[in-house]
Structure 1
């Protein structure tokens, strides 16, 4: 049996995903939680093979922050259900253990198939995810051909960079995007690292030069 741990902020969604998992004779739910901390505490005892993770809205920001900032993740292979593909950094997600990205509108059979597949060591991307990522990949290739050195920013990071260019503080950006100030700091740090800069002014200057933002 493939042991699945379900994480979703909403108790209704947790119940629904658990019911979906139960439709397969190959899968069993060993636990559910509203956040990743519960999985961390119970990992040794439960030993799940797959983490089925629903991320949406503000909860998504918090989950990615935790997944990407932790240096020693105890998490198993991860299936992510999301309705916000534009905020995903695929490379960082794969490093964090994500092995499948599906839209929240996925059918029961698609979710079950993804869980079973990644338990076998495969990577599963829904066609909607691939169609979204291809333009980003092509843009990234063009950037690497015309400029050296800079890693591609995610759409959310570009949005934050644009607000930096407008002179907004972290607190103002957090309010504008309806996210926590800590999450804004996380995005700013990632922008600095990807653009190889150390100040907001440098980040905005590089962003303008690369055509990422306009002042």
Structure 2
């Protein structure tokens, strides 16, 4: 795993100017970080985020941000969200948005700093309270799921990147028809009906990593 390159370049996004200024001030006080920009919403970044190329995006999460962040991930680097209510976070939504870190709003300064450094290094960071509530631990009834083959696990891992069947086929040097067969088999074995659900179950079972 590569280590973070300092200074870690960060964009702060928060609707509340108080939260925005607080997060920015906290990060700028640390010589390891450089705040490239501090804005109220994701949409205001679309025009210049490709040029800014931040290492980490720190986002004060609002449920309305989901669509915007999903559309922006092709330009955005690793994103950490700060949430009010842990119970309101839908893990499937988080997976689809390719978010790399989740922290509660009451996280300490040291927790936020550690998360930013970890995510900048390519790690995924979930606060212990988040892990408990999202039930990421392997479920007791996991034996009810049929075992995936090595090829199916390989295909499932590729689904985490949102690749199409055609793209998966090209990377694995197999036919698109074969990929469709594997995806169908994965759905059946994991008792799911969508790719997002398949990825979520795969993570919970420890079959794949984000």
Q: Shared fold by TM > 0.5?
A: yes
Per the alignment, do residues 148 and 97 of structure 1 end up closer, same or farther by CA in structure 2, a change over 3 Å counting? closer
TM-aligned CA deviation for residue 16 of structure 1: 0.4
Per the alignment, do residues 96 and 143 of structure 1 end up closer, same or farther by CA in structure 2, a change over 3 Å counting? farther
With the length of structure 2 as denominator, give the TM-score of the two structures. Answer: 0.61
Task: Verify: 1:124 aligned to 2:166, yes or no.
Answer: no
C-alpha distance in 2, partners of 1:88/1:106? 16
Per the alignment, do residues 84 and 143 of structure 1 end up closer, same or farther by CA in structure 2, a change over 3 Å counting? farther
Task: Verify: 1:98 aligned to 2:99, yes or no.
Answer: yes
Which residue of the partner structure matches residue 110 of structure 2? 109
TM-aligned CA deviation for residue 23 of structure 1: 2.8
Task: Verify: 1:23 aligned to 2:37, yes or no.
Answer: no
Is the Cα–Cα contact under 8 Å of residues 73 and 97 in structure 2 kept in the other structure?
A: no
Is the Cα–Cα contact under 8 Å of residues 131 and 137 in structure 2 kept in the other structure?
A: no
C-alpha distance in 1, partners of 2:190/2:115? 37
- In structure 1, list runs of 5 or more residues that go unmatched: 153-192, 195-215
Per the alignment, do residues 30 and 11 of structure 1 end up closer, same or farther by CA in structure 2, a change over 3 Å counting? same
TM-aligned CA deviation for residue 64 of structure 1: 1.5
Task: Verify: 1:39 aligned to 2:41, yes or no.
Answer: no
Displaced runs of 4 or more, over 6 A: none
Is the Cα–Cα contact under 8 Å of residues 6 and 18 in structure 1 kept in the other structure?
A: yes
Which of 125, 135, 149 is the equivalent residue of 2:191?
Answer: 149
Which residue of the partner structure matches residue 88 of structure 1? 89
Secondary structure at 2:139 match in 1? helix
C-alpha distance in 2, partners of 1:37/1:46? 14
TM-aligned CA deviation for residue 131 of structure 1: 1.3
* Number of aligned residues: 149
Per the alignment, do residues 31 and 85 of structure 1 end up closer, same or farther by CA in structure 2, a change over 3 Å counting? same
